[in-house]
């Protein structure tokens, strides 16, 4: 009996749960916090060079020729993967094209017969100088940097998120916007060129008012003085005209005229125009024997038939 009583006392004191007995304390150990990513909160690195991502045909590079002695102005072939830095230029021949990437958000497509240079690539702005020819600039929407194309006479075309093309000739600087808004500035005046619009700057004057990009390309051409020694005609204002392998000056009214060297037996001359949007049209001027008036072939205004790269 004494053994049973002792067992009950032990059970009652140490084993049986009592409602008035406080629960043993529970210790909670917090899980370790994950380490922050190394790049968290840091801005994307500033890209200071443009990378060549595609090349077609004859494409060459040089340190800014204007800064060098003529004997040092060497142009060397460009390869995919090469980098272009400040004060370097890229030049394409007829049929040649190239594309430059600036970081993840910007690119420049260089069309044929074009010369373009890198002015500045910084955290705030990406600046390129279009010496002649045509480029297409693309800046992803929401970008923090301004993408700017500058001309020889102080003209600028800039966007912070858009796609636009610029055509620079000896007399005009023309902008055509494909996506987003582009600010075209010259002589202290700025106009905003919206998607599907174009505007141009004659020389170093103020820019024109924006207008819709035409779906038809104007090119009228004829020959004078017998065997095509002079070609004259009319093209769209702000466009580029090439007669044979020579560039013709197009004035602020779209008129052009060019003298050619006489060539015995020449039967025709090809006249080609391209605009800022990339539309290209060709006409063929048939040459008459010396002393007879030249004939003009295909002088009508037609819809553009191809788009240059």
Q: Answer with the residue of higher pLDDT: 207 or 306.
A: 207
CA max distance for the chain = 149
Using pLDDT thresholds of 50, 70 and 90, give the confidence band for residue 300.
very low
Name, of 40-49, 227-236, 239-248, the range with top average pLDDT.
239-248
The whole-number average pLDDT for the span 194-212 is 97
Q: Answer with the residue of higher pLDDT: 16 or 241.
A: 241
Report the range of poorest mean pLDDT among 35-44, 77-86, 257-266: 35-44
Residues above pLDDT 90, as percent of the chain:
64
CA atoms 169, 74, 118, 138: torsion sign: positive
The whole-number average pLDDT for the span 154-165 is 97
Contacts of 259 (CB under 8 A, 6+ apart): 229, 230
pLDDT value for 302 = 46
- Kind of pairing between the strands at 146-150 and 125-139: parallel
- Structural domains present in the chain: 50-212 (2.60.120.1440), 216-307 (2.60.40)
Q: Cα–Cα distance between 212 and 217 in angstroms, integer?
A: 13
Confidence check: pLDDT of 7 > 70: no
* Tens-place pLDDT, residues 95-122: 999 999 998 899 999 999 999 999 999 9
DSSP class of residue 22 equals P
Q: Answer with the residue of higher pLDDT: 205 or 265.
A: 205
pLDDT value for 69 = 62
Q: Cα–Cα distance between 88 and 97 in angstroms, integer?
A: 17
Using pLDDT thresholds of 50, 70 and 90, give the confidence band for residue 305.
very low
* Tens-place pLDDT, residues 65-87: 666 665 566 899 999 999 999 99
The whole-number average pLDDT for the span 270-286 is 95
Class of residue 37 by CB neighbours under 10 A (exposed 0-12, middle 13-18, buried 19+): exposed
The whole-number average pLDDT for the span 123-132 is 96
Q: What is the pLDDT of the chain when averaged over all its residues?
A: 85
**pTM for this entry:** 0.79
Query: Is 142 strand, coil or helix?
Result: coil
CB 174 within 8 A of CB 198: yes
The whole-number average pLDDT for the span 59-64 is 90
* Tens-place pLDDT, residues 131-159: 999 999 999 988 789 999 999 999 999 99
């Amino acid at each position: 009996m004494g053994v049973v009583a002792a067992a009950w006392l032990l059970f009652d004191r140490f084993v049986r749960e009592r409602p008035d007995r406080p629960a043993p304390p529970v210790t909670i150990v917090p899980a370790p916090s994950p380490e922050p990513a190394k790049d968290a909160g840091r801005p994307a690195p500033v890209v200071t060079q443009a990378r060549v991502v595609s090349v077609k045909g004859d494409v060459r590079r040089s340190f800014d020729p204007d800064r060098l002695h003529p004997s040092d102005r060497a142009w060397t072939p460009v390869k995919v993967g090469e980098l272009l830095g400040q004060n370097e230029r890229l030049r394409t021949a007829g049929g040649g094209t190239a594309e430059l990437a600036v970081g993840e958000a910007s690119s420049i497509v260089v069309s044929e017969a074009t010369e373009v240079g890198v002015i500045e690539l910084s955290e705030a702005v990406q600046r390129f100088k279009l010496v002649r020819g045509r480029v297409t600039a693309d800046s992803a929407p929401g970008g923090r940097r301004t993408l700017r194309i500058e001309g020889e006479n102080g003209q600028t075309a800039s966007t912070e998120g858009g796609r636009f093309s610029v055509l620079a000739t000896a007399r005009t600087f023309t902008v055509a916007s494909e996506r987003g808004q582009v600010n075209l500035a010259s002589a202290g005046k700025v106009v905003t060129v919206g998607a599907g619009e174009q505007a141009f700057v004659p020389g170093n004057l103020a820019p024109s008012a924006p207008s819709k990009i035409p779906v038809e390309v104007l090119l009228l051409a004829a020959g004078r003085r017998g065997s095509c020694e002079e070609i004259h005609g009319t093209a769209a204002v702000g466009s580029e005209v090439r007669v044979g392998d020579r560039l013709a000056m197009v004035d602020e009214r779209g008129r052009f005229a060019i003298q050619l060297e006489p060539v015995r037996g020449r039967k025709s001359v090809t006249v080609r125009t391209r605009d800022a949007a990339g539309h290209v049209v060709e006409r063929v001027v048939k040459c008459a024997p010396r002393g007879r008036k030249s004939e003009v072939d295909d002088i009508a205004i037609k819809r553009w038939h191809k788009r240059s790269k």
